[in-house]
A and B are shown apart, each in its own frame.
Chain A
C-alpha cells in the first residue's frame, strides 16, 4: 500500500508547493487563490454525456458566474442562509437578498449566519455581512424590505430568482410579478423575458423544491391545490365546546384577549412578547380546568398563538442544496434542470419523489386565459366575494373588486382600507343586476396574492 501512495503524496506535495507560491506571489484583484474553483470548473470546462443540449464547455463560463450572473435570493431565514452559502461557494458573486424580518433567538438553531449578538438586527443585513466576510469577492447586497416594496424594474435585472419564503401569499406575489414581466410578440412568448423562479419550502422533516419557468412550466398558482387552506378551528367549538388544549388557547387569543385587554386598551396580542404569552397560558389553563381538559403547556400556547412550524437545520440544508444545484444548472446550462417538482421526507429513512407538475389551462396567474365568473344576475356581490376567497384555485385573501359602469371606474368592494370598506359594504348585499353590471362585463380584482390585477369576465347564468 505504501508504494501506491507515494506517487499521490508526491503529486500533492508538488501541488502544495505551487499553491504556496501562488499565494505568496500575490493574487489577482478578485482575491482568488490557486485551486479555488476546482470543484466548479469541471462542470463548466468539460464535455459530458449528460449535459444540456445547449451546453458548450468553456473557460469563460466561470467568469460569467463570477462577474455577470445576477441572482436574487428572497428570504434570509432557514433556507435563505443556506442558499447564500451554496451560491457563494458555487461561484455566484452578484447576489441580492431581500428579507423584511429581524433576527430572533429561535432562529439560531438553523439560521447559521446569525449569532446571539445579532438578535434584533435585520436578517438581510447580517446575512450579507457574514457571507461577504467569509467568502472573499462575494458581493451580497441586502435589502431589509418587503418584496412588495420593489417593482418590475428591480426584478427585471436578475437572471434567476430563488425563494426561501415561509408564506404562500408571498410566493404567489413574486410568481405574479414574474408573470407580469413576460412579453409576448404575436402571441409567442419571448424567451429573453423569462426569469426562472426556484422555490423551496420546508416544514419539520418535510420539504419541497421546484423549478418554475414563467410562461412555460407550472407556476405557483397552477398547483395551488398542493397547498390546502389552513384549517382553523370552528368558532362554536372554541366558544362553547372546547375539547383539546388548543381550543382553550384559541378561546383566550380570539375571544378573551380582545374583551379583557390585559395590557391596555387596543394593545394587540404579540406572540413574541413572553409576558403576553404567559398571560394567555395562564388563562388557557383556567379555561381548560373548567372543562377538565389536560395538556395546556407554555410551549403549546406559544405554538398555537404564533402558528409555529417546527424547523431544523437538516431539512433546510437539503432543500436549499437542491435549489442551489438547479440555479447552477440553469445559469451554466450544464445539465437539464429539474422538471419540475421534488418532494422530500426523512421521517422514515429518506424519501424523495420527483414529478412534473402540470400547468393549469385556466390558471389565473399564468395562463392568459380570461378568467370567468358565472353567476345569476340576481346573485349578491357577497357570493362573488365568497367564490374568490373559497375557490381552491383562486384562494384570494382580501380581494378588491372594481368594474367599469357607465363609463366610470367603480369600486364595488374593497376591505383593505377601513373607510372604503365601510362605504362599499352595502354593495355586498346588492345583486349584480342592481349594481349595474351587465353580461360579459369585465371585473378587475386586486389582491395580496398577486401584483397584477386579475381580469374576470362576468357571465350571467340567469
Chain B
C-alpha cells in the first residue's frame, strides 16, 4: 500500500474548496546552530539513526486538539516527527484554553485545529504542521481517502458512532489507529492495528546465546585449543569463563552419559567441580581467580538449553511464512528464510546471535572468543541470505529488495521477533464478539481497572442517548447518576455480562462531568506518543490492545479486548 512521504504531502497544494485547511508558515530561521545529531542525541541512543529516519518520514493525523491530543502531539513533535495534521472543526472555548498548553486566551473563538497547530509547530522547526477545519464525520462523508495517507491516525474524544465509522475505514486501509481519551481521572488508550511486526524489540533481560549445550564446530575447536591444566597461572586466571565452563562441561558430560547438569543438585555439584579447578597456592589455599567465580555464578543461566521460544516458533509456523507471494512483506520473507535455515543449516536452532557479555579475561583471549561467535553469526546470516535470495527469485523479485543489513539485523534479533495483532474495534464493540471472558474474569475483582472500561462504555451510551455527557453542570449530577446507572445496566445486559458495577464508580463518573484535567491528559500524552513511536519505528513492542490508567489509585492495566 503506497503512502506518501511527509515531504511529498506537504509540497502538494490542497485545492479544496469544501473546507479550509492549511499549513503554518515556519517562523523566521532559528537563531543558534542546533544540528539534528546534537538535538536528538539523547533519543538516537534509544532508537538509532534508522529509527529516527522512520520518525522523520512519518505523517501523523490527530483528530481533536483537546489537551490530550496536543499533549500527544507535543511528544511527537519534540522528537522530530516528519509531519502532523490536526483535524478539528471545533472553535476554541474558554475551558479549552484552561487545560491546554497549546491554546491561549487569544485563541478563543478561533478554529481549534489552527490555533493548536501554530503553537505545536513552534516547538520544532524540523516538523511540518497542518490543520483541517472539518469534522471527521464530514471527511468520512466527502473524502474517506483522506485518512489513508497517514502513518498513524490518533483519535481523541470521538463519540462512539464516529469512532466506529473511522475505525472501519482505516482498518480496511491498513492504517494503524490509536484511540485516546482522558475522562476525569481516567486515561484510556486503544490500539487498533491488524498486524504489526517488530524485529528490534530490545528486550530488557535477554539471555545470552552461548550454545554451551551444543557448541558449533568452530566453537568446539576453539575450546579444544585451551589446555587449562597446563596453562601458566596468569593465563589460567584470564581465561574467559565461557571456556572454563565449556571445559568442565565436557568433563561432566563424559562422566554423566553425555547429560547436562539439570537438577538443582546436579548444578550444585557442577559448580563444585568448577570450584575444584581453581588453582591453589603452595599452602593449598585457593587463589583469587575471578574468571572461575564468574563461571560458577553463570552456571544457572549459561546451561539453559538452546531452544527456540514458543513465540518465535509460532511465527515460523505462521500462515504468512507458509504462503509466500510477490507482495509478501520483508518481515515474513525473512521469517520463512529463517524457518528454512532452522530446518537445514541451523539443525533446529536459530542463527547464532554473535555477541558475548563482557567477562574477566585478557584482551587477546576475549577478542578471539568473541570473533568465533561473530564469524559463526556471519556464516549463519549468509545461509539465511541464500534462502532469501531463492525465495525472492521464486516470486519474481530482485534479490536486492531485502538488504544485507536488514538480513543481519534480523538474524541478530531472531530470538526476539514479535508480532502484534489487535482485534478490530468492530469486534470489540459487537455484542456477538465482545470479549466477555476477559471482562468477566477481571470483574471478579470489582475494583479492577476493567470497571473503568465499562464506565467509559457506559458514558458513551449516555452520550448517544442524551446528546451530552453526565454531570457536566452541578444541577445535573444527582439525576444523571440514575440515568448513567441505567446506561450501565443496559450495556451489561445487551452484552450478556453478569458483572457488578459498584455504585461508587457510577457516582464518580458523574462527578467527573467529562472534564479533562491536564496532568491526566499529559500522562496519556506521554504514553500514547511512545506507542505511536513504536508503531512508526517498528522498534520496541506496542501494547495489545487496551490500556487503562487510574490516576486516583495510580495504577494501570492492559487488557486484550
Contact = CB atoms under 8 A, between A and B. Distances in A.
25 contacts: A4-B466, A22-B94, A23-B94, A36-B98, A38-B515, A39-B95, A46-B477, A46-B511, A48-B507, A85-B518, A86-B522, A89-B101, A106-B41, A110-B43, A116-B33, A205-B530, A293-B367, A312-B46, A313-B74, A321-B520, A342-B554, A348-B204, A351-B556, A352-B556, A354-B554
A3 B40 CA distance: 50
A165 B201 CA distance: 29
Contact of A42 (B31, B46, B512): B512
B96 to A, nearest CB: 8
A23 B110 CA distance: 14
B98 A35 contact: yes
A19 interface: yes
Given A23-B108, A36-B95, A243-B367, A308 B42 contact: yes
A363 interface: no
Interface string B318-350: 000000000000000000000000000000000
Interface in A6-30: 6-8, 11-12, 15-16, 19-20, 22-23
A34 interface: yes
Contact of B513 (A42, A119, A324): A42
Interface stretch (B268-276, B281-289, B540-548): B540-548
Interface in B37-60: 38-46
B30 interface: yes
Contact of B93 (A16, A45, A85, A293): A16
A318 B527 contact: yes
B400 interface: no
A268 interface: no
Nearest to B96: A35
A399 to B, nearest CB: 29
Contacts of B97: 33, 36
A303 B45 contact: yes
A314 B361 contact: no
Contacts of B515: 38-39, 42
Contacts of A116: 30-34
A333 interface: no
B530 A314 contact: yes
A413 interface: no
Contacts of A23: 94, 105, 108
Given A36-B98, A49-B504, A299 B468 contact: no
B480 interface: no
B551 interface: yes
A134 B122 CA distance: 13
Contacts of B457: none
A325 interface: yes
A48 B366 CA distance: 64
Nearest to B540: A347
Given A82-B522, A241-B238, 20 more contacts: A23-B94, A23-B105, A33-B94, A39-B98, A42-B184, A47-B511, A106-B41, A109-B42, A110-B79, A116-B34, A119-B32, A241-B363, A293-B363, A299-B41, A308-B45, A309-B42, A315-B530, A322-B519, A345-B204, A346-B530
Contacts of B477: 46
Interface of B: 30-35, 38-46, 67, 71, 74-75, 78-80, 91, 93-95, 97-101, 104-105, 108-109, 123-124, 161, 184-185, 201-204, 238, 358-364, 366-367, 370, 464-468, 474, 477, 503-504, 507-508, 511-513, 515-520, 522-523, 525-527, 529-531, 533, 540-544, 547, 549, 551-556, 558
Nearest to B512: A42
Report, nearest first, the 10 A-B pairs whose CB atoms are least far apart: A317-B526, A35-B94, A35-B95, A321-B523, A349-B543, A49-B504, A318-B526, A89-B518, A314-B530, A310-B45
A36 B99 CA distance: 8
Interface in A260-274: none
A273 to B, nearest CB: 13
B105 A136 contact: yes
Given A37-B98, A350-B556, A299 B516 contact: no
| Of A116, A136, A209, A244, most B-chain CB atoms within 10 Å | A116
Contacts of A82: 522
Contacts of A40: 98-99, 517
B39 A105 contact: yes
Interface of A: 1, 4-8, 11-12, 15-16, 19-20, 22-23, 31, 33-40, 42-43, 45-50, 82, 85-86, 89-90, 105-106, 108-110, 112, 115-119, 134-136, 204-205, 209, 237, 241-244, 291-293, 299, 302-303, 308-318, 320-322, 324-326, 328, 335, 338, 342, 345-352, 354
Nearest to A131: B101
Nearest to B549: A352
Contacts of B519: 86, 89-90, 321-322, 324-325, 328
| Of A37, A243, A347, most B-chain CB atoms within 10 Å | A243
Contacts of B35: 105
Given A5-B467, A49-B504, A322-B523, A299 B108 contact: no
A90 B518 contact: yes
Contacts of A308: 41-42, 45
A50 B184 CA distance: 13
Contact of A106 (B38, B46, B105, B533): B38
A314 B45 contact: no
Contacts of A313: 74-75, 78-79, 526, 529
A335 B98 contact: no
A49 B204 CA distance: 40
A109 B40 contact: yes
B378 to A, nearest CB: 13
A342 B550 CA distance: 12
A326 B517 CA distance: 13
B34 A108 contact: yes
A350 B523 contact: no
A345 B109 CA distance: 40
A314 B526 contact: yes
| Of A48, A86, A314, A335, most B-chain CB atoms within 10 Å | A314
Contacts of A316: 526
A325 B520 contact: yes
A21 B467 CA distance: 25
B520 to A, nearest CB: 7
Nearest to B124: A108
B468 to A, nearest CB: 5
| Of B98, B367, B529, B533, most A-chain CB atoms within 10 Å | B98
Contacts of B80: 109
Contacts of B78: 108-110, 112, 313
A116 B122 CA distance: 11
B30 A117 contact: yes
A85 B99 CA distance: 10
Contacts of A19: 93-94, 108
A325 B43 CA distance: 26
Contacts of B99: 39-40, 89
Nearest to A89: B518
A110 B46 CA distance: 14
| Of A33, A39, A85, most B-chain CB atoms within 10 Å | A39
Given A7-B467, A15-B93, A317-B75, A350 B363 contact: no
A348 B522 contact: no
Nearest to B198: A348
Nearest to A15: B93
B554 A322 contact: yes
A91 to B, nearest CB: 9
A49 B508 contact: yes
Contacts of B123: 112
Contacts of B513: 42, 46
B51 to A, nearest CB: 11
A4 B529 contact: no
A338 B39 contact: no
A106 B468 contact: no
Contacts of B124: 108
A350 B558 contact: yes
Contact of A350 (B104, B527, B552): B527
